[in-house]
Chains A and B, each alone.
Chain A
Amino acid sequence: MQMQISMPVEAQSLSDAPRGAIAETAPAKACASKLGFWYGNMQALKGLDMEIRDKRVTALIGPSGCGKSTFLRCFNRMHDLTPGTRYEGSIHLYPDDIDLVSRDVDPIEVRMRIGMVFQKPNPFPKSIFENVAYGLRVRGMRARALIEEEVEKALRDAALWDEVKDRLQSSGLSLSGGQQQRLCIARALATNPELLLFDEPTSALDPIATARIEELITALRERVTVLIVTHNMQQAARVSDYTAFMYLGELVEFDATSKLFTNPGRKATEDYITGRYG
């Protein structure tokens, strides 16, 4: 292991605990079981079983095409937008125990509870204010004062308020890339999601902007469960409490981040995190 890994303090302490103890410290927020996913005749996910812990950051790592983004997008049913796709198995969301990928569950309702931040910053070509307010408007919020309050709160939570408070009416596209991504995070936070999905949120950003997003994600674990796909193993080590290593549509190993990175149980995981492939 020649990699330099700075571990979050909590993760470090968890690493010494047996797995059963981890389960007790944080209840499950979501649980995928025998999850399969098909694009037409191509099977992209094969029988995934995995638990997402409440108010923790879980990272998905693996080489390109291993299905980590596909897995992430199952949680908010993004695949429903693509014709010819099919889910198998289930993802149960707790505490109310609904199956996110079930046909009987409306994808709109799923997305009302689960937020997402995308790979490339994708603010709407509207004002900064309207970007953050959009989710609230979709949820039927009309009172101007209330919306203003929520927008400010979300922007503060996304560590963007001080930079934009004087120009809330200028276009979201006028911001820098890193600011745009924080705007997208604020947009997702405004709707108060139970689970927040990040799909390689820093891959289009420079190191400084990346560091700010990572700080933000670490701070978010106080209030929301985070699932993050990342191409960058150091990032997974820095921000996450748990890490899942995926390969060819299967879950190879899932463990506390500190454990997975220092003492991987599988040969494939070790090869990947030491940079032998991927």
Chain B
Amino acid sequence: MRAAQAGVERRKLFDKLFVLLGLVVLVAAFAVLFALFLDLLRQGAPRLDWDFLTSYASRKPEQAGILAAWVGTSLIMVVTACVAMPVGVAAAIYLEEYAPKNWVTAIIEINVTNLAGVPSIIYGLLALGLFVYKLGLGQSILAAGLTLALLILPIVIVATREAVRAVPRPIREAAYALGATRWEVTAHHVLPYSMGGVLTGMIIGLSRAIGETAPIITIGALSFIAFLPTPPLTGEFPFLSFAWLKDAFTAMPIQMFNWVSRPDPGFRVNAAAAGAILLGMTLLMNGIAIWLRYRFRKKINW
């Protein structure tokens, strides 16, 4: 009896040790990110003001700003989201709900998963050949958006498939039993119920894309740019313009990369400030993802 007691104590100790280990690892990971963010904020503090956000790049570090960069990044994200969302969700729905389970779909599935691991520069090279030259899109916002959409497509597809798979079979059966077609089951039930997961995957994909540098350098982002793309809203009918899609651009990571490679220490402060803002944008997006997931899951508990 006593021996058995001692055994329980020891096993409980291991249980506690594991909790401790987990906590240490978690805190360490958080501390690194937090320290990095704080360091960027501290270094970039002198430049973190309104002027920084509303000025173009300049040869003088104290006058340089990130206007073109953040506008460029935002517009690229719009293109990326508008392309990756429908294509990725449609592909995932097809694979999950429609595709017959045979070796062809098995190969497609494996490849989709593998694509998530392809280095981003490869996507850049592909995009340079395909979008910039073959399709003649040039070094434009459209080409950059398409490239990043391609890059995050596997992430969106995998996340969507998981969300779709989480919809319980009895729910589908209930809809089918009422006479719904496959499309109706998908559009009225599966997709709405998995929307939380789909949007989360989408935003995680976008927050990966927002920091990508290599592929957009490859397709020819400019690093010194002193003008904004054509505004998407115009004064006269039809009030919407898509000319900005064909405009040259720069993006946040490009601007940072450009600044850190300069000898003048003033530019390094700029780079830190831009880094803090970029990190802030990413955290904001992740925050939205968490909020969306919370909003959608609150309504649905299987």
Contacts and interface: CB of A to CB of B under 8 A. Distances in A.
B138 to A, nearest CB: 47
Nearest to A173: B301
A142 interface: no
A138 B179 contact: yes
Interface residues of A, number: 26
Nearest to A123: B174
A83 B179 contact: no
A44 interface: no
Given A134-B188, A171-B299, A124 B179 contact: no
B173 A83 contact: no
Q: Which of A78, A115, A123, A138 has the most CB of B within 10 A?
A: A138
Interface string B157-196: 0000000000010111111111111001000110001000
Contact of A124 (B100, B174, B181): B174
A111 B301 contact: no
A124 B176 CA distance: 12
B174 A138 contact: no
Interface residues of B, number: 23
Nearest to A197: B177
A54 B223 CA distance: 79
A108 B173 contact: no
B171 A122 contact: yes
Contacts of A139: 179
Nearest to A130: B188
Contact of B180 (A78, A116, A123, A138): A138
Contacts of A78: 173, 176-177
A188 B178 contact: yes
A120 B181 CA distance: 22
A81 B189 contact: no
Interface of B: 100-101, 168, 170-181, 184, 188-189, 193, 299-302
Given A139-B179, A173-B301, A191-B178, 14 more contacts: A78-B176, A81-B172, A111-B178, A115-B178, A122-B170, A122-B174, A124-B174, A124-B189, A125-B171, A125-B299, A134-B178, A138-B178, A173-B300, A187-B178
